[in-house]
Amino acid sequence: MFFYFAKAGEKFENLIFLILNMLWLGVILGGLFVFLISLILKALLFKYRDIKFKDYFAIVSYSAFPLALSVLFLLPSILAVFGIYYFTESPEPDKLKPIPFYIFYGIGWILKAYSVLLLLFGLKHITENFFESLIYVLLTSISSLVLLNLLTEAVKIML
């Protein structure tokens, strides 16, 4: 996802080199993302002092599993259909092949929604209140968007 928003296809002409960079950087940034979101949850849920950091880390890791599945199964399909053009601005992938683009886009959003639901039910287990956990999921989602934007900008600088 970082490489899509960073338009990494404009900087790399070789798809294999781009995929290798995605692998090593994705593992590092993915682990950092899960760690930081766990820290944010620990800070937001400070009144639950008996819950350890590793429990928050486990919940966030569990809720990130659909996103990992999308990298393992959806991304190779996207690369098979679009190639390096998925990561470029000209031609844009939605203009190049609109129907497959929106199918992949929809599947990606379904997996993201499932990830949010897993986080919601994980936090409901801690808070024992659905609406309170919903508020924490919304705050965590906002934090995730800010964090993803920062990480995307970091990837742009590194590329």
Q: How many residues are recorded in the chain?
A: 159
Tokens of 45: 């849920």
Q: Among 9-13, 26-30, 47-51, 59-63, which is the least confidently predicted range?
A: 9-13
Count of other CB atoms within 10 angstroms of residue 119: 23
Number of structural domains in the chain: 1
C-alpha distances in Å from residue 113, one per residue of 28, 65, 119, 146, 149: 23, 12, 10, 18, 19
Tell me which of 22-26, 34-38, 53-57, 140-144 is least confident.
Answer: 22-26
- Is a pLDDT exceeding 80 seen at residue 31? yes
Of 13-17, 93-97, 131-135, 136-140, which range is least confident? Answer: 13-17
Distance (Å, whole) CA 12 – CA 138: 36
Please return the burial class of 127, using the count of CB atoms within 10 Å of its CB with bins 0-12, 13-18 and 19+: middle
Check residue 62 and give its pLDDT. Answer: 94
| Type of residue numbered 89 | E
CA atoms within 13 A of residue 112's CA, in its CB half-sphere: 10
The domain containing residue 88 runs over which residues? Answer: 2-158
Which of the four pLDDT bands, split at 50, 70 and 90, describes residue 78?
Answer: confident
What's the pLDDT score for residue 146? Answer: 86
What pLDDT does 70 receive? 87
| Rounded-to-integer distance, Cα 40 and Cα 56, Å | 9
The whole-angstrom separation of Cα 79 and Cα 88 is 12
Share of the chain above pLDDT 90, in %: 39
